[in-house]
Amino acid sequence: MQTLENQNVVIIGGTSGIGLATAIAAAEQGANVWAASRSEGTIDKAKTQAPDSIRFSPLDTHDVTGLQQLFAEIGTIHHLVSAATGANRTMAPFMEQTAEQFSEAFNKFWGYTNVVRAGVPHLSADGSVVLVSGVPARKCNPGMSAISCVGNAVEGLGRALALELAPRRVNVVAPGIIDTAMFDWMGDNKATNFIRMSQNIPLKRVGQANEVANAILFVMTTPFVTGTTIDVDGGQLLP
């Protein structure tokens, strides 16, 4: 396995949840880490949780000029991670969504394409790209059609780019239900809901952000892995 020591790691969507856990883990392994997101509020909070060495930037995945400027300032990028949602997602049956609501979910996908287009010209010859998808791409509950379709698009993009960008590597990590701020809207019911939501998961619990970060670091540092999707879901995809 490779080491992240003195490697330049850029994480778009790296100021909360899985992205922040990845930024912290990479920094702990000696990487030079840049983390960006569109929310200055999450950046301020992340600074209180992360090593001082991580460089945080306010940046939206749809700000192509901003992406290009950030990547140019960094110079050589060894590992580029796109974990930002970058979209408003409607959870509702397909026939109850408007075309605009369904299309809005794909802003995550278009944001990912922006990150890759702007970042790859700065990627080292042996560098890697990691995209974050999710379980709904292949196991979709009712009301999650838009999220599922976006996840499928991300995973398909990962496979296509692995061929086009070789020998630079492209992989996808697909989390299951992970305890992040995404579920904070549940309030005091969060723990109870997680117990209910995990009943059909073989490991009988939801995952933690650092467990997904471990998978992201694995595909970064394993030179013979490309074009694959790593599931971190506690067995949720099993029949």
CA 17, CA 93: separation in Å to the nearest integer? 27
Domain-embedded: residue 190: no
CA 87, CA 96: separation in Å to the nearest integer? 19
Domain-embedded: residue 194: no
Predicted pLDDT at 181: 81
Predicted pLDDT at 182: 78
- The upper half-sphere exposure of residue 147, i.e. CA atoms within 13 Å in the direction of its Cβ, equals 21
Reading the block at residue 197, the tokens are 């939501």
Q: Could you report the per-residue pLDDT of 92-145, keeping only the tens digit for each?
A: 999 999 999 999 999 999 999 999 999 999 999 999 999 999 999 999 999 999
Single out the residue of 32, 149, 134 nearest to residue 102, CA to CA: 149
Arithmetic mean of pLDDT over the chain: 95
pTM assigned to the model:
0.94
Match 């100021």 to its residue by tokens: 15
Q: Which residues pair with 169 in a beta bridge?
A: 128
- Rounded alpha-carbon distances, angstroms, from residue 158 to 14, 34, 164, 187, 215: 19, 22, 10, 35, 16
Mean pLDDT to the nearest integer, 183-202: 90
Q: Could you report the per-residue pLDDT of 144-188, keeping only the tens digit for each?
A: 999 999 999 999 999 999 999 999 999 999 999 999 887 888 888
Work out the pLDDT band at 62, boundaries 50, 70, 90: very high
- Give the CATH number for residue 151: 3.40.50.720
Domain-embedded: residue 3: no
Domain-embedded: residue 59: yes
Reading the block at residue 167, the tokens are 């020998």
CA 194, CA 123: separation in Å to the nearest integer? 39
- The upper half-sphere exposure of residue 110, i.e. CA atoms within 13 Å in the direction of its Cβ, equals 11
Domain-embedded: residue 204: no
Domain-embedded: residue 193: no
Residue span of the structural domain in which 75 resides: 8-182+210-232
Domain count, the chain: 1
Domain-embedded: residue 65: yes
Q: Range with the lowest mean pLDDT among 4-13, 60-69, 83-92, 217-226? A: 83-92
Work out the pLDDT band at 66, boundaries 50, 70, 90: very high
Domain-embedded: residue 228: yes
